[in-house]
Amino acid sequence: MIMRILGEGQYDIADKHLEQLNHLDTALQKAADASDGTAFASALSALLDAVRSLGTPLPNETITPSDLVLPDETTSLPQVRELLSDEGLIPG
């Protein structure tokens, strides 16, 4: 799966890591639902850090459609709420 972090780049994520990323996504969803800004910032940072560490960065010159686009760490709680579905940011 190709994930893009806005303003940063794309990462190729192996399927074996999706369960771990979904766990972090669930924490983000719970923080957003609770309007807990501190927990939200922490959960978003943890999710993005995991994408960076588990994924393989794609070269900037590689043009590949992203399967999923994630907000960057400066995205506000209200903005992320607009992106969240019933499954969070990461489906599955």
pLDDT tens track for 49-75 = 999 999 999 998 888 899 998 999 998
3-state helix, strand, coil in the chain (%, to 5): 50, 15, 35
- What mean pLDDT do residues 1-17 have? 95
Domain extent listing, the chain? 2-83
pLDDT score at 55: 97
Quote the CA–CA distance of 3 and 52 in Å, as a whole number: 10
pTM over 0.85: yes
For residue 62 the two structure tokens come to 């590689």
Q: What one-character DSSP code corresponds to residue 7?
A: T
pLDDT score at 80: 84
